[in-house]
Amino acid sequence: MLSFYRLITGLCIVLTLMGTARAADEVVPKIAVLDWRAALLGTEQARKEFRSIRESLSQDEQEIRTLADDAKKLQERLKSETENLNADEKRQLSKEVQEKAEEYQFLGQRLQKEQRQRQEVYIRSVRPQLDEAIRQVIEAKKIDLLLDRQAVTFVSKRMDITEDVITHLNGMQSSDSRSE
């Protein structure tokens, strides 16, 4: 529902600008769209940073996979030996499976939270550069109105400046890393 209202608002703005432009010597405003998230995460630096985050958390991921394997083995043992186990042994084995499952879930959530937090720190640190790259692309292309790609149902590829912003941001980031 929110997207519908965003779309209607965007269309109203576009129509208003076009009407104003036609009244003023038939100059049509230049409109573009940008996928902010794709622009931010599409850079070489972002790929390296996210790869680094995954690698730094790989030991935790391995621990989680080991827990999942252990729980699966316990479940298989419980199924295959159910006839040979007494009630106490079945209960104990079921308890172990439950504990492994709970630990797996806890560690998985903790890992996801840590990964999200590290990604957010990166995103916050790069946001000023993204804003500057967007401003420079807008000026270079003489764009009058920039819409969020998520608010638009359809847009021609020629109106999408996401790749231009990524290219510009990559250039900014590579020159920053050279000057360090």
CATH code of the domain covering residue 145:
3.30.910.20
Rounded to whole angstroms, how far apart are CA atoms 121 and 114? 11
In contact, 57 and 35? CB cutoff 8 Å: no
- Residue 162, CA atoms < 13 Å, CB-side half-sphere: 19
Chain centroid to CA 18: how far? Answer: 34
Rounded to whole angstroms, how far apart are CA atoms 141 and 103? 53
pLDDT at position 5 = 65
pLDDT at position 4 = 63
Per-residue pLDDT for 126 more than 90? Answer: yes
Cα angle vertex 57, ends 121, 48, to 5°?
60
Residue given tokens 């998520």 in the structure block: 150
* Domain hosting residue 150, numbered range: 2-179
Quickly state the pLDDT bin for 135 (edges 50, 70, 90).
very high
Quickly state the pLDDT bin for 157 (edges 50, 70, 90).
very high
Quickly state the pLDDT bin for 145 (edges 50, 70, 90).
very high
Rounded to whole angstroms, how far apart are CA atoms 168 and 39? 10
pLDDT at position 143 = 94
Q: Which two tokens stand for residue 145?
A: 């109105």
Per-residue pLDDT for 1 more than 60? Answer: no
Integer-rounded Cα Rg, in Å, for the chain is 26
Count how many domains the chain has.
1
Rounded to whole angstroms, how far apart are CA atoms 41 and 101? 33
pLDDT at position 26 = 60
Per-residue pLDDT for 80 more than 60? Answer: yes
More confident residue, 4 or 58: 58
Rounded to whole angstroms, how far apart are CA atoms 169 and 38? 12
Q: What's the residue count for the chain?
A: 180
